[in-house]
Amino acid sequence: MKIMIKAVAALLVLSGALSLGSCRKDPTNTSTSGLSTIVCDASFQNIMDQEIDVFEYTTKGRANIIPYYVSEKACVDSLLDFKTKTIVIPRELNQKEIDYLKGHKKLVRTNRIAVDAIALIVNKDNPIEMLSISEIADILSGRVTQWNELSPNKLGEIQVVFDDEGSSTVQYMRDSLLHGGKFGDNVYAQHSNLEVFSQVQNRKGAIGIIGVSWISSDMRTRDLPREERIKTLSENDTTVADFDPAVKVLKVHRDDDIHAYKPYQAYIYEGNYPLYRSIYMISTGVNGSLSHGFFSFVTGTIGQKIIQRTGILPARVQPRMVNLY
C-alpha cells in the first residue's frame, strides 16, 4: 500500500510538471526534503526498503524516495537515460558509461556500500550439509541432476531455483561458476526472492540460490515500528549471527580448501565464504539535492548499520567476530 501511494504521488508530480510546462518552477528539493527516485537491483529490495523507511522518518516526512526494483541492466539504462539520479547495482560503471555521463555534464559519485553473499538454501529435510564450488557448478550446468550423485540421499532430482532469469544473482552464478556457460534443464526462475524461499520450503528436492539478506533471522526487526528499529540501530552490536530456521543454509568450500563456511558476516569479511559480490550506490545528484542527501545517508553511519542488520557486510562497519558452531 505504501509503495502504491508513493507511485501515485510520483505520477501526480510528473503529470503536473508536464501540464504546466515552463510556467512553473520545479518543486523545492533539498538534501532532506522533496521527491526523488532510486532504481535498485531487485536482489537488494528488502535492504533498500529499510534504508528508505528510516531516512524518510528522520526527515519527518519532508522527503519522499520512490524506489523501483528491476534488473541490473534496467538500473544502468535508467541512469544513462536520465530517468533517475541514483541506482544500486552489484558493479561499478564502466569507463564508457562514466564518459557518457560526464559528456552530459553529470558528476558521477560511486560508493561501495556493502558486500553481499549468495546463499544456498535447501529444505530442512534434505540431509546434505555442504557443497564445493565445483559441485555447485556441476549442478548448475546439469552435469549433476540427482542428489544421490553428491551424497547418500533419497530426494531424487535436484531442482535449482533462482529469483528471476534476468537477475544479477543469475548473472553472478553464470559468470563466476560457469564462465558464461549455459544452465542445465534443472534450473528454474521464479518471480521474486520470496518465491525462491517458498519453493525450498515446499519442495524437498529444491535448492535455492538467494542473497543472504533474504534469509537473515535479524530481518524480523523490519516488522517493528520505525521508532523501535531506530533505537536498535543505536546499539553497538548489530552483527547478525543466525539465519531463518525455516530452511537449511548450506556450507560452501573452495575446491582447494577442506574447510566449508556458511555466509555469516565474519566469514564474508575474512574472505572465507567464496560466493560474494560488492554492492555499489551510484549517483549523479548535485550537492544539496535530495538524491545526494539520501546517498550520504546510506553511505553514512546509520545507513551502514541498517545494512549490517540485514545480514550482509556493510562497507564501513566491521562485524563483531564471534565463534560460530
pLDDT at residue 262 in the model = 94
What is the Rg, in whole angstroms, of the alpha carbon atoms belonging to the chain?
21
Confidence check: pLDDT of 283 > 90? yes
pLDDT tens digits, 20-35 = 334 444 456 899 999 9
Cβ atoms of 37 and 68 within 8 Å: the answer is yes
pLDDT at residue 12 in the model = 44
> Among candidates 190, 191, 208, which has minimal Cα distance to 248?
208
pLDDT tens digits, 40-56 = 999 999 899 999 999 99
Rounded to whole angstroms, the Cα distance separating 68 from 39 reads: 5
Q: What is the pTM of this model?
A: 0.82
Could you tell me the pLDDT band of residue 267, with boundaries at 50, 70 and 90? very high
Average pLDDT over residues 195-200: 92
Cβ atoms of 112 and 313 within 8 Å: the answer is no
Q: Reduce the DSSP state of residue 155 to 3 states and report it.
A: coil
